[in-house]
Structure 1
Amino acid sequence: MTVILINPFDVPKGKEDEALAFWDRAADYMRKQPGFISTRLHRTVVPWARFYLINVAEWESITHFEAAINSEEFKKLTEPYMEVFPHYPGLYEIVRN
């Protein structure tokens, strides 16, 4: 059974381009990891949305995802941005189609 990552990002005004560049680097890393299936980044189109960006990705398993985010390479890539772009990842399963 695959799992779905839903990861909304807070993006401060004026940092939108930096957030997209950060996501591109992280996505490039993730695409090379075992168990990665797909990702799509969504940007709000209304000013009242809670989050500016939401990443939705599919992984073969929780184990694959956790291995990818717990690697030293990923930590080094993301640590400088953890406070700049707070995000709230969660893994989900599909229960209705």
Structure 2
Amino acid sequence: MYDWGSNTENEQITAGQTLEIKGENLKIYDNIEEEGVFFLSQSGGAEQKAERIRINQPQTLSLMVPNLVAGDYRIEIRNTAYKTKTLRTGVSGVVFTVQ
């Protein structure tokens, strides 16, 4: 994951800036309401959904990081396969810091 605000990869996230995620089966089809990219706080369990996804492709997501409180976060991608209702969840193995 590349953070455009800090010019770093797999280290930190900059609130209000662009985050680029590369991988497989990433596309958000919006088949069900629970789909999206979520930022999970590691110090209280709160989660915040990214509301602005600019690039939404199977191997690339580019999105605006929401205004997150400083702390540590994991990123969780919840999506479905094309034309299905079965939710899949993938959680980043990296803990990111928001300063």
Higher relative contact order (CA 8 A, sep 6+): 1
Structure richer in helix, relative to its length: 1
**Bigger CA radius of gyration:** 1
Which TM-score applies when normalising by structure 2? 0.31
- Indicate the structure with greater strand content: 2
